[in-house]
């Protein structure tokens, strides 16, 4: 159940390392992405969609269900995503100036009902934001993977106990079982390899305690050289920083 994205680098011994991810090809058709505010779940969702679009000719959609937090919504990158062949669904209103209005368009159901369409669902922050999934619950009964993006530098997910409580709250609010954990521990432009390592260790502890599968560690590809984390356990995944304004 492994798929290789078309990025590679050489490790410290000169061997080629290919970024591999478990959630493509043989993984469920629908990937639901949840996470706390500041975890980087939207950046992960957009980067995943762009990576898939670069290697797939099939139908691909990104559904933005974040109608709680007005910051860093994936639908703000509609032009870029649709230019890459990714259909974007979310707000009833297409213009960015109305993107903060909490109204979902009827088109959201289209890709969920289309058995030939690969779907990434970007969900609002924490358990309150994830409640919107309730009205679409029938689509996530099968053929779905739900992943939690964890940033160990955020207050509510900086400890093992806090992270477990966060995951449990989302599962309780949505009725979904989180199957995968994504380590996206960052400090924006100050992210270092040690930051990512800290998050990896926390996520592995969480996985071992509550029986979740560790999927990958993310790194900002314009800030971290993948060689710096080539010894890290598990897969690594490059983030494109598509959502980051230049002033940040």
CATH of the domain at 157: 3.40.50.300
Per-residue pLDDT, 200: 97
Q: What is the pTM of this model?
A: 0.83
Structural domains counted in the chain? 1
Per-residue pLDDT, 68: 57
Can you spell out the DSSP letters for 63-78? EEE--S--SS-GGGGH
Sign of CA dihedral 17, 242, 146, 232: positive
Per-residue pLDDT, 136: 84
Beta-bridge mates of residue 183: 150, 217
Per-residue pLDDT, 15: 34
154 within some domain? yes
Kindly report the number of other CB atoms within 10 A of residue 135's CB atom: 12
179 within some domain? yes
Q: Residue-wise pLDDT tens for the chain (248 aa)? A: 233 444 444 443 333 334 456 556 556 899 999 998 889 998 999 999 998 898 878 999 999 887 655 555 565 677 889 899 999 987 544 544 444 444 455 678 899 999 999 999 998 766 666 667 778 889 999 999 999 999 999 999 999 999 999 999 999 888 889 999 999 999 988 999 999 999 999 999 999 999 999 999 999 988 999 999 988 888 899 998 776 554 34
Per-residue pLDDT, 79: 83
191 within some domain? yes
7 within some domain? no
247 within some domain? no
**Residue 216: in which H helix or E strand, if any?**
strand 213-220
Cβ neighbourhood burial of 164 (10 Å; 0-12, 13-18, 19+): middle
Tokens of 190: 């100050």
Per-residue pLDDT, 18: 43
Sign of CA dihedral 185, 189, 193, 194: negative
65 within some domain? yes
Q: Containing domain of residue 127, as a range? A: 26-239
15 within some domain? no
């Amino acid at each position: 159940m492994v798929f290789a994205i078309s990025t590679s680098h050489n490790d410290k011994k000169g061997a080629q390392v290919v970024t591999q991810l478990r959630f493509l090809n043989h993984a469920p058709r629908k990937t639901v992405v949840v996470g706390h505010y500041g975890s980087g779940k939207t950046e992960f969702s957009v980067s995943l969609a762009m990576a898939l679009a670069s290697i797939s000719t099939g139908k691909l959609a990104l559904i933005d269900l974040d109608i709680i937090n007005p910051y860093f919504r994936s639908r703000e990158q509609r032009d870029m995503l649709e230019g890459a062949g990714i259909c974007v669904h979310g707000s009833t209103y297409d213009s960015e100036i109305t993107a903060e209005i909490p109204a979902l368009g009827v088109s959201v159901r289209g890709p969920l009902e289309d058995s030939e369409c690969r779907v990434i669902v970007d969900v609002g922050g924490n358990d309150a934001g994830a409640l919107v999934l309730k009205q679409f619950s029938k689509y996530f009964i099968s053929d779905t993977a739900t992943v939690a993006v964890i940033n160990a530098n955020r207050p509510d997910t900086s400890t093992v106990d806090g992270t477990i409580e966060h995951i449990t709250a989302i599962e309780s609010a949505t009725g979904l079982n989180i199957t995968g954990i994504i380590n996206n521990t960052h400090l924006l432009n100050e992210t270092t390899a040690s930051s990512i390592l800290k998050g990896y260790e926390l996520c592995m502890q969480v996985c071992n305690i509550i029986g979740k599968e560790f999927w990958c560690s993310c790194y900002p590809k314009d800030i971290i050289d993948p060689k710096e984390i080539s010894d890290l356990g598990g897969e690594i995944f490059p983030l494109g920083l598509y959502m980051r304004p230049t002033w940040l």
